[in-house]
Structure 1
Amino acid sequence: MSNDNPYSQPQQPQPPFHQPPAKSGGMSTAAIVGIVLAVAFVVMLFCGGILVALLLPAVQSAREAARRMSCSNNMKQIGLALHNYHAAYNTLPPAYTVDANGRRLHSWRALILPFMEHQALYEQIDFSKPWDAPENLAVSQTVVYSYSCPSTTFDPTMTNYLAVVHPQGIMSGSTPTTFRQVTDGLANTVLVFEADSGNAVNWMSPDDSDLQAFLAAGSARDQGGHLGGSNVLMADGAVKFVSDSADQTVRTALVTKDGNEQVSSGL
């Protein structure tokens, strides 16, 4: 029987029911990849830090070994210059030059400049006036790199390559010495050594070292230097690395040129 009720509403067709897709309980692939990359980055940073910490001492040691070798080469060049000076004048240079009143004027380092390939610099020096006179100021402020140990950190116009000025040493003062006077043997006698930084002087200065400073070498390394010892230039031109703990008697024997001491061991 038909529904003739005029008040009834026609039924609207219902849209089909769609259930929303179920949410995944895990993370997306992109999120997982991002986390993996972040973890890998952190691990790389951590491992890199460990690697740097392990390699740093080795790198520093290698750099110091290179500086020590460069220093040794500087001293060998100085030794060659001193030998060439002796060949030219039949004597080594004095530790310093003096004027008529005995006042110190210039260092042996200034005298050997022509043999260090610094003839032009040598010709600029007024040897009749002190090293620190106004006429010599420009030269004294010139850096001679062969007089500067690369392990030191002070002004490069300073040097700690010093002679041991001693009455029985090769460098005894204003009087020059010949190799024939070195009866202890050139290989057993010091020409130049690396002093502690506190004893450094301007390379033109006529001041050097004494026996006491040589005996105390290595006691202060506040401005650099070589770990455990220092380079020493022997009269035969060889460079030896002398330990800071070397016997004091041996050190004294190295300074004297005619003391007949035995210095074959104890360095």
Structure 2
Amino acid sequence: MPAIRNTVITLGTILLIAFSSGCQKNQSTDPKTEQTSATEEKKATAASEEKPIDPKMVTKPGEPMTAERYQAVKARLKQIGLAMHNFADQNRTFLPSVEEHPEYYDENGRLKVSWRVHLLPFLEQKKLYGQFKLDEAWDSPHNALLAKNMPDAFRSPDTPAGSDKTRFRVFEGTREENQQKEKAPTTMFPLGTPLGFRDILDGTSNTVMAVEVGPDKAVEWTKPGGLNIAHPRAEFGDAARGIPVLIGDGSIICFKRDIDDVIWKALIGPDDETRIDWRDIEIKHSTLSAKQSQLLNQLKQIVVAFFNYHETFQRFPPAEKDLVDGKPNLSWRVHLLPFLDQKKLYDQFKLDEAWDSPHNKTLLDQMPDLFQFNPQVKPGATQVMTFSGENTPFPGGLGPRIRDITDGTSNTIFFVIAGPDKAVPWTKPEDLAFDPADPAQALGKLSSPAYVAVMMDGSIRSVPVNLPAKTLVKLIQPADGMIVDVELKPYRPQ
């Protein structure tokens, strides 16, 4: 009997194993199970194939940030800054109007989805933007599914590719009584009625717009809200020694994180009547020589001046006020002067006279250094020029508006540095004549295999001299509906 009992137990065990194996086999043939397994396998494969993050791009709490990482973050903040400027230009405020879109806000005056979502159309992400339900909460069943599609503009260099969390954040504020007993905003993004450029009374160049915080302070990119203005330093979390900051005028600066909260609040507040000397709190990062940095800074200052002009007059120069009988007497370079801290020089021009009138000619030798890119070019002449003529952003008469650039601002050339033989008196309303058959010939004699072109989104690109004419035509024409089939590299001065 014992032997028989042992045999039965053994057979039962075998049957149990066989039955279990059969169940597993049947499950594996189930289509849903196969699909799930395949999906998990793909995820595992993708994770294993994901490129490791460059150690130079990783921040460590309290330690210096590498120059390479700062440049990468700077590029992201620049994208965000230009998108914010373009949003404000179109909507007159940095966030959607409460009056026009009350359904976008909750009972506390906070957006239901993040400001980042509302920037999508200005980051070449209009299709993704159209999928959001802006009158629903960020974590509603519908909107939650879209969080996986975070654009790279909101991704820090050391944020994993599959993450939906961003470290680029703004300070959320309120309105508090100022010295004049008036309710003044404590940040550029107070709850309730949103601000516009006109509300930044301290000046956009003196006010913080956005920052990059430490990885422990990252949030879902679609989630509304912001950092607490009460204790700014604590909000940076495990950030590096320097905090990359987007300033209201579009410039990027790295501030020491350990400066006093009082100073941080002064930098963040748009209407506190405080000016901060940045020299003692700024951290410099650069892999460029002083000469290279100077050249790029010149170009960036011109770009910022263009956008500030547009903010003021709702178009790039010339505006209606700058025309006489429908034509400009002076170059757009002259009309940018008030936005280049050259108001005193601008006021010396007689705007109703030609550039070469006896009076205006006396101002030729006062050309700002910003327009000088080659010491061999004769004094008073510049190589900074736009393409002009039919089917260009500057066809003559009134300057363009951002909304006129329907091909996309990142696909359209703003201005270039032409060859020294093409230099013109900086006050003369003359630029590069556009010839669709051979657009490059207008650039003159170029000594390098590539030239610098600033795009209408503010990015600075390197354009090969041998770029096919048909491709260059697409880059010059702002509204031809043609796809630009070339990726231009960022410009790096020699």
TM-score (norm 2): 0.38
How many matched pairs? 204
Does 1:130 find its partner at 2:137? Answer: yes
Q: Which moved more, 1:212-221 or 1:75-84?
A: 212-221
> In the alignment, which of 160, 166, 187 is matched to residue 205 of structure 2?
187
3-state DSSP class of the match of 1:242? strand
**Who is 1:214 aligned against?**
232
**Who is 1:171 aligned against?**
189
**Who is 1:247 aligned against?**
260
**Cα deviations across residues 64-85 of structure 1 (Å, max 9, x unaligned)?**
4222211111001000000000
Spell out the pairing of 1:226-237 with structure 2 (5 A cutoff): 227-237=240-250
Q: Which moved more, 1:109-118 or 1:89-98?
A: 89-98
- Native 8 Å contact 2:116 2:222 kept in 1: yes
Counterpart amino acid of residue 247 in structure 1? D
Counterpart amino acid of residue 241 in structure 2? G
The whole-number CA distance in structure 2 between the counterparts of 1:93 and 1:237 is: 17
**Cα deviations across residues 166-200 of structure 1 (Å, max 9, x unaligned)?**
12211002421011111111011111111222221
- Native 8 Å contact 1:233 1:240 kept in 2: yes
- Native 8 Å contact 1:105 1:127 kept in 2: yes
Residue 174 to residue 103, structure 1, CA distance change in 2 (3 Å): closer
**Who is 2:68 aligned against?**
66
3-state DSSP class of the match of 2:93? coil
**Who is 2:216 aligned against?**
198
**Who is 2:94 aligned against?**
92
Residue 100 to residue 60, structure 1, CA distance change in 2 (3 Å): closer
Spell out the pairing of 1:85-124 with structure 2 (5 A cutoff): 85-93=87-95, 97-99=104-106, 104-124=111-131
3-state DSSP class of the match of 2:244? strand
Does 1:161 find its partner at 2:161? Answer: no
- Native 8 Å contact 2:213 2:238 kept in 1: no
Structure 2's unaligned 5+ residue stretches are 1-53, 59-65, 99-103, 175-185, 282-494
> In the alignment, which of 67, 77, 80 is matched to residue 78 of structure 1?
80
Q: Which structure has the bigger radius of gyration? A: 1
**Cα deviations across residues 80-128 of structure 1 (Å, max 9, x unaligned)?**
0000001111111169941468675111111110001100100010112
**Who is 2:47 aligned against?**
none
**Cα deviations across residues 194-240 of structure 1 (Å, max 9, x unaligned)?**
1222221111000221114522255524xxxxx42121111101111
Residue 89 to residue 104, structure 1, CA distance change in 2 (3 Å): closer
The whole-number CA distance in structure 2 between the counterparts of 1:256 and 1:88 is: 24
**Cα deviations across residues 50-69 of structure 1 (Å, max 9, x unaligned)?**
xxxxxxxxx95598422221
- Deviation of 1:139 after TM superposition, in Å, equals 1.2
Q: Which moved more, 1:123-132 or 1:86-95?
A: 86-95
**Cα deviations across residues 118-170 of structure 1 (Å, max 9, x unaligned)?**
00100010112111111112211112111011134696310111110112211
- Native 8 Å contact 2:73 2:157 kept in 1: yes
3-state DSSP class of the match of 1:193? strand
Identity, % of aligned positions: 28
The whole-number CA distance in structure 1 between the counterparts of 2:145 and 2:214 is: 26
The whole-number CA distance in structure 1 between the counterparts of 2:131 and 2:81 is: 23
The whole-number CA distance in structure 1 between the counterparts of 2:117 and 2:141 is: 16
**Cα deviations across residues 24-71 of structure 1 (Å, max 9, x unaligned)?**
xxxxxxxxxxxxxxxxxxxxxxxxxxxxxxxxxxx9559842222111
TM-score (norm 1): 0.69
The whole-number CA distance in structure 1 between the counterparts of 2:162 and 2:276 is: 35
Counterpart amino acid of residue 190 in structure 1? V
- Native 8 Å contact 2:57 2:158 kept in 1: no
> In the alignment, which of 260, 263, 266 is matched to residue 276 of structure 2?
263
Residue 193 to residue 62, structure 1, CA distance change in 2 (3 Å): closer
Q: Quick one: higher RCO (CA 8 Å, sep 6+), 1 or 2?
A: 1
The whole-number CA distance in structure 2 between the counterparts of 1:241 and 1:187 is: 14
- Native 8 Å contact 2:188 2:270 kept in 1: yes
Instruction: Let me know the Cα RMSD of the aligned residues.
Output: 2.6
Does 1:238 find its partner at 2:251? Answer: yes
The whole-number CA distance in structure 2 between the counterparts of 1:165 and 1:218 is: 14
The whole-number CA distance in structure 2 between the counterparts of 1:92 and 1:102 is: 14
Counterpart amino acid of residue 245 in structure 1? D
- Native 8 Å contact 2:83 2:123 kept in 1: yes
